[in-house]
Amino acid sequence: MSEPDHDSLPSVNSVMGGRAGHSNGRRATVNNCPYCMSESLFPRADTDNAWECRECRRAFSVKFHGHITA
C-alpha cells in the first residue's frame, strides 16, 4: 500500500477520551476477511487501520473515503 496510514486529524481517543478497551476509535470494524471470509481477525498493532487474518495470513486495511454524490 503506497498511501501513508495516517492523516492530519488528531487521534479520536486523545481528543474525546475514547474507550479504554479499544486503542483506536477510528479503526473500521470488519466482521469477515475480504479474501477468505474468516472471522479470525485481529487489529494489526503497527498501523492505525489495518487488520490481520489468522486463517489466510493476509493483512488489509478498511478506510472510509467519503460519500458519493447522487
Q: Could you give the number of structural domains in the chain?
A: 1
CATH number of the domain within which 45 lies:
2.20.25
Inside any domain, residue 59: yes
Taking the alpha carbons of 12, 15, 19, 23 in that order, is the dihedral positive or negative? positive
Evaluate if residue 26 carries a pLDDT over 90.
no
Average pLDDT over residues 8-37: 64
Q: Domain residues for 40?
A: 29-63
Burial of 51 (0-12, 13-18, 19+ CB in 10 A): buried
Give the global pTM. 0.56
Evaluate if residue 13 carries a pLDDT over 50.
no
pLDDT value of position 21: 46
Evaluate if residue 18 carries a pLDDT over 70.
no
